Structure 1
Amino acid sequence: MLWTVAALLALVLLWYALSGRAWLKTKPWAQGFFAWIEPIEIALYRKSETLLIGRLLWFGGFVVTAYDALALFASSLDLTPLTARLLANVPEDMRGLVLSASFALIGLAISWLRKRVTKPLEIVAIADKDVTPKVAEAIAMADATKDEAVAVVTEAKGVA
């Protein structure tokens, strides 16, 4: 039950970071939620989807390492029933493949996020309440400069 709750929590966080946050930002009724959640987002993953995915991967690796360490010191403890329940719907001979594919999908998500993310972490992590007109102007100027640089590079690739 604990693993199911943890997996569901990870999926909800993933949905929130990848698409839910942008969707909720368009809803007027969710503005109070963002005033409450933004400091937590900044503290946990600096509002960066890439950092969120990386930290989820880190946490998964920590769980596997803790499991392996526990198995090393408690050799008489058989944790196979726990993993069998976690992957109960997966045939036993396919469980390794499912775990490997999960890490591959996480890697694909990180690559996809890297292509999609264009702002420095310091800009992403700023709280909405801290965006002054001067800061907003600087961010707009940085975006315009980035767009111009991308256009020049794209044109140079086409010519070469």
Structure 2
Amino acid sequence: MSEEPVKWLNEVEAAAWLNVWSLHVWLPNRLDAQLKEDFGISHYDYFALAQISMAPEKKLRMSELASVSDMTLSHLSRVVTRLEKQGWVQRIPDPDDGRSTLAELTDSGWELVQAAAPGHVAEVRSRIFDTLNAEEVAQLNNIAGKIVDALDPPRKARA
């Protein structure tokens, strides 16, 4: 069996990788901190609520929500249970497929999303977009899209 030699990262690639790593670790922490401080919810909670809020009739099949949220069904179930206890989401049987469950945003869940969205968007804008010009935003979108495609996610989240 012949092993191919490791193709080590060059200096520029290593620096880029460290920036990607920092982005991966620190950005979610910053977004989470803002949401917890302002609304007492985690970034996972907000992301699930936001994805449901953008779905037709504010209902989304749990398996689809897990996919777009990049959460296991087990993790998503814990998140949705937490959201149900707050009265923001309810689980209902899927009328089109009795084997599936839908997560439905309640009126108070919709109110929470509407209240939390401006601060969340402001945090995203200040952490990412205010530091970039229009050309850099287009480059970021292109580069991030290529990386996401290489990860082969089952489905991309809604913007």
Query: TM-score, normalised to structure 2's length?
Result: 0.24
TM-score (norm 1): 0.24
Between structure 1 and structure 2, the one with the greater Rg is 1
Which has the bigger relative contact order, CA under 8 A and spacing at least 6? Answer: 1
Higher strand share: 2
